[in-house]
Structure 1
């Protein structure tokens, strides 16, 4: 039965309204702030160095590259962490789960820049994939851990009931355990996405592109408008990605758990 307050509105409905309000307010605030900074940066009296960096084509190219790095990292994380997490919850594989979690924890505990540089020195690669692969390793832990925790947190009575009506182990996993674990998996993915956006600013160290190039140029050449624009775009993109993660949690989370 829903708990009500003096005003006659339920606590649950008030919480839902606040959540929906945040869904609207967050992207609107990002668009307004980023739009204001871009309008300032593109219309001010820029010198030659600032004009070379603060033009629409350069800003769009750097932002698009940054977004591509983030999407590639997220795709690799989901493609590796979710199946691996499912596998490690099976009875025969649970003994080695701590090993994989420790490896993923080491990946996140290590500095992201150090991982990118070490990967570059090891492979002698540079460019897009030299940034994406170590950042994917860096962002792996939240999804892997949440997949394992989400599946293991399912009430054993539900899985026993599934087996009782003739479901196979795979059927129980896909029809009972995974749907109930989706909220935790999406929460982990949301964290990984924000980590990927933030650390993607380091991709410029290996010629991977992204908004880190603007930030680095503004800092090294003491061009504050370039520095501010790059930083605001990176923050705005992180907030939008966080918002997308929240929307995914709302849309794909099991209805019965909301």
Structure 2
């Protein structure tokens, strides 16, 4: 324990820098996934066959091992001189984030009580007004649960990104493995775990803020 505390104290600036790199990679990737996944999830509620196809493709993508996914990005992005570093890692994490976000958005919109839709129609709301004022606010808790899942999952996945030069907390873990240094390995693993826990609670807080008051009691 003493060695761990000494390592953290001595290398705090490096740990802080790698944590920021890690957060930046996950934030950009998952942020882009939210901007694309939520609209896709809403769109496919209109067509069951399209929904099945989109969800199937997203399910296949998430089953690809992270090392293989990062490896696939290298030759593809090498064509535009971006084969190593931030971009292949960001695109891989973006792809991994799609399933939980699309699936939860689709499920949330689909499970809204039809009576509420009819009531909104009866009030003279257009399809867009109904979506913005009724359906999306009611779907927020389930959508945010998907976002939370994507963030926590990809904080762990991002540790593998060190092998393609994307940096992050995986650097400490990799140094611990290659140098058989248990202190570095423990520090890196604990740092990633703490980051995931903090992110989960942060997004739970945001989820509660965005949830209509009448639904807040249903949150975990």
Give the TM-score normalised by structure 2: 0.91
The structure that has the greater radius of gyration is 1
Aligned to 1:21: none
Please state how far the C-alpha of 1:187 moved relative to its aligned partner: 0.5
1:80-95 maps to which residues of 2 (within 5 A)? 80-90=36-46, 93-95=47-49
Aligned to 1:97: 51
Between the aligned partners of 1:196 and 1:72, the Cα distance in structure 2 is 11
Which of 41, 46, 68 in structure 1 is aligned with 2:7?
Answer: 41
CA RMSD in angstroms comes to: 1.7
Could you tell me which runs of 5 or more consecutive residues in structure 1 were left unpaired when the two chains were aligned: 1-32, 44-53
Which of 202, 212, 219 in structure 2 is aligned with 1:254?
Answer: 212
Give the TM-score normalised by structure 1: 0.78
Which of 153, 174, 179 in structure 1 is aligned with 2:132?
Answer: 174
Please state how far the C-alpha of 1:38 moved relative to its aligned partner: 6.2
Q: How many residues align?
A: 212
Could you tell me which runs of 5 or more consecutive residues in structure 2 were left unpaired when the two chains were aligned: none
Please state how far the C-alpha of 1:40 moved relative to its aligned partner: 3.5
1:128 aligns with 2:94: no
Please state how far the C-alpha of 1:134 moved relative to its aligned partner: 0.8
The answer to whether the Cα contact below 8 Å between 1:73 and 1:196 also exists between their aligned partners in 2 is no
Structure 1 pair 181–73 and aligned structure 2 pair: CA distance change class (3 A): same
1:217-232 maps to which residues of 2 (within 5 A)? 217-232=175-190
Structure 1 pair 110–37 and aligned structure 2 pair: CA distance change class (3 A): farther
1:240 aligns with 2:177: no
Between the aligned partners of 1:188 and 1:42, the Cα distance in structure 2 is 33
Which of 29, 34, 47 in structure 2 is aligned with 1:78?
Answer: 34
Please state how far the C-alpha of 1:75 moved relative to its aligned partner: 0.4
